[in-house]
Structure 1
């Protein structure tokens, strides 16, 4: 089932760049890298997110606001404010667009140390480019799909980055277990996170937002942190903290 293999590869590659580059680098500055590698990651985000590509600069701003205003009216993506995950995804999309276009007034203190490649974003963030990506995905499905039901995964492929963000932020504020009592609804979705690259440990992350390793308990495993350790070993990035 080639289309399932494609879907799995797309899921983990897209999630890697969203978790490591958008979340841990852009939003939280957990490591540093030179301009060359930063742009390699930008291109990696574009190639893996495709039609759902989002700007690391705008995402970083939006997620910083999420931590400052968690579960409050000003939170740009909280299930506490929306009755279902699809409405939350739509509200998140609108808040993201407003931030990307500069319509949302944000204090300068939240704009520090954000990656920015404006000329690249003008291309990658263009609707005509998104349509080209959708056509590419349709051609891939036409080539690999062997049964009608496999086409049901096409919408997920098209909105992969947005879908992953919704899945993590919705479930991690709705269901799961807590290692720490917080003044918000953050939870850990999975005891062993083999689905979300370590982002399932949302309660741990809200307790220690600048710690690169989201895993706290002995049974928790943060693949995102392990991948960052490997990139640090290769001297592609420089982790600010090698341990929890």
Structure 2
């Protein structure tokens, strides 16, 4: 059981870290700069830890920029206020995302003016169905060898869809449940003051107020555990945090 729990939480937190650190705070918002070598390291780690649910950074970045521009309106790619349930929201989000991946859907110029990281060879490999299936088989084998009871196999779908599951929790809960520090003209909420299990991502109300701030926590009792890691990487000169441009 220990092996399964360690594997599950390691996959959850490493996948989530590179989701929030690279896909969200870098690809979408450019909260920091880094050298091309380190960008490739972070890019590779995002693919590796997301595995079977890998999200291509350039497509994610465009979609997330749309989310901020059109937050909780009909043009928002994943506002929970236009869907009956989270599954319907996930299906529509995937449809929009796939349009950007295949480039059949050309985004408005305002969403591509700012830098979007791109590594086409890795994206072709990581997004291939065979690559995703290899990851899925690997996850399954770990459970075959180490799960003490068949009930643990119920965790496998979360491994298979780790990135979308985490994104669905953030986008559904972060715009429906919790409290607000700011009036942003949308339905964004801070779902919990702790934010540990989503590494700061559930401070949606704070983030929509100050979308360029790398620290999603704004009150003394709020904890964004990704931000201290970013400060450490900044101190090590691996990344350079940009001066925060606070939204008026």
- Whole-angstrom CA distance in 2 between matches of 1:169 and 1:215: 17
Q: Please identify, of 6-15 and 101-110, the stretch whose mean Cα deviation from structure 2 is larger.
A: 101-110
Matches for 1:130-145 after TM superposition, within 5 Å: 130-145=132-147
| Cα separation, partners in 2 of 1:243 and 1:47, compared to 1, 3 Å | same
| 1:178 paired residue number | 180
Question: Does the Cα contact within 8 Å between 1:212 and 1:241 map onto a contact in 2?
Answer: no
Deviation by residue 1:82-105 (Cα, 9 ceiling, x = unmatched): 111111111111111011111223
Q: Aligned residue for 1:237? A: 239
Q: Are 2:212 and 2:245, in contact at CA under 8 Å, matched by a contact in 1? A: no
Instruction: Provide the aligned C-alpha RMSD in A.
Output: 1.3
The residue aligned with 1:105 is: 106
Alignment check: 8 A CA contact 1:229 1:242 kept: no
Alignment correspondent of 1:76: 77
Aligned pair 1:146/2:179, yes or no?
A: no
Judge conservation of contact 2:213–2:244 (CA < 8 Å) in 1: no
After TM superposition, the structure 1 = structure 2 runs for residues 156-175 of structure 1, keeping only pairs within 5 Å, are 156-175=158-177
The structure 1 segments of at least 4 consecutive aligned residues displaced by more than 6 Å after TM superposition are none
Gaps of 5+ in 1: none
- In structure 1, the residue matched to 2:65 is 64
Partner of 2:40: 39
Looking at structure 2, the residues matched to 106 and 6 of structure 1 have their Cα atoms a distance apart, in angstroms, of 37
Q: How many Å separate the matches in 1 of 2:145 and 2:44?
A: 25
Contact 1:73 1:81 (8 Å CA) reproduced: yes
1:163-218 deviation digits (Å, cap 9, x = unpaired) = 00001110001100100112111000111111111111100000000011111110
Measured after TM superposition, the shift of residue 242 of structure 1 is: 7.5
TM-score calculated relative to the size of structure 2: 0.95
Distance in 1 (CA, whole Å) between partners of 2:136 and 2:107 is 33
Per the alignment, in what secondary structure is the counterpart of residue 38 of structure 2?
helix
CA distance in 2, matches of 1:77, 1:173: 10
Can you give the 5+ residue segments of structure 2 that lack an aligned partner in the other structure?
none
Partner of 1:80: helix, strand, or coil?
Answer: helix
Alpha-carbon separation, structure 2, partners of 1:13 and 1:34:
21
